[in-house]
Amino acid sequence: MVSSSCGRPPSRKSLVNTQPIVEQIPALRRYARALTGDAWAADDLVQDTLERACSKWRLWVAGSDLRAWLFTVMHNLFANQVRRATRQAQSGSVNIDEVAHELVAPVADLGIAMDLQRCLLRLPMDQREVLLLVSLEDMSYAEVAKITGVPIGTVMSRLSRARGRLQALLDEPVRSAASPASVAPVSTLRRLK
């Protein structure tokens, strides 16, 4: 299937096969969903990734790994979004410590285990990204290192820490059920669009 490059009107120079990009969308959606924990935010992230890929298409080296390039674009966009949200939260007019008493969630039933998605979202972003790329997307350490822009040793270290932390988080309700006095109320903030 030959079509125009990323939705632009076709020209003789810009005819490309968009099928390889389309084939990567399910993997991009899976990774975005795991990163954001929200279907709407994941779809927005995939859309932003595809838009950025189209606008920066000339930067992709033909013959190189398109999948890794798209995941790198998504990784960079997500990191920028997190940084932007952090800056906005710091410059916001509401001090979370002042309203903490309003944010305490009711104590949940201790018999219900925390699901994997919630545990993944509690991991630090750098650990979660590496864990998802290696386990969910079945990428090699070298591919993950290229996407995240860190050395392979750092990828292995982050993966090890992520696996250990995830195991601890998954086991946490079991330990908490054994000693209810050690349970602190957990508050959950959700960003609304």
Q: What is the pLDDT of residues 118-152, one digit of tens each?
A: 888 888 989 999 998 998 888 899 999 998 899 99
Element (H, E) at 93: none
Regarding pTM above 0.75, the answer is: no
The two tokens of residue 48 are 């932003």
Beta strands (DSSP E) in the chain are 3-4, 15-16
| Residues contacting 37, CB < 8 A, separation 6+ | 117, 118, 120, 121
- How sure is the predictor about 3, in pLDDT bands with cuts at 50, 70 and 90? very low
More confident residue, 3 or 134: 134
Domains and CATH numbers, the chain: 1-93 (1.10.1740.10), 101-193 (1.10.10.10)
Beta strand 3-4 with 15-16 is antiparallel
Q: What is the pLDDT of residues 82-100, one digit of tens each?
A: 888 877 776 665 555 665 5
More confident residue, 156 or 178: 156
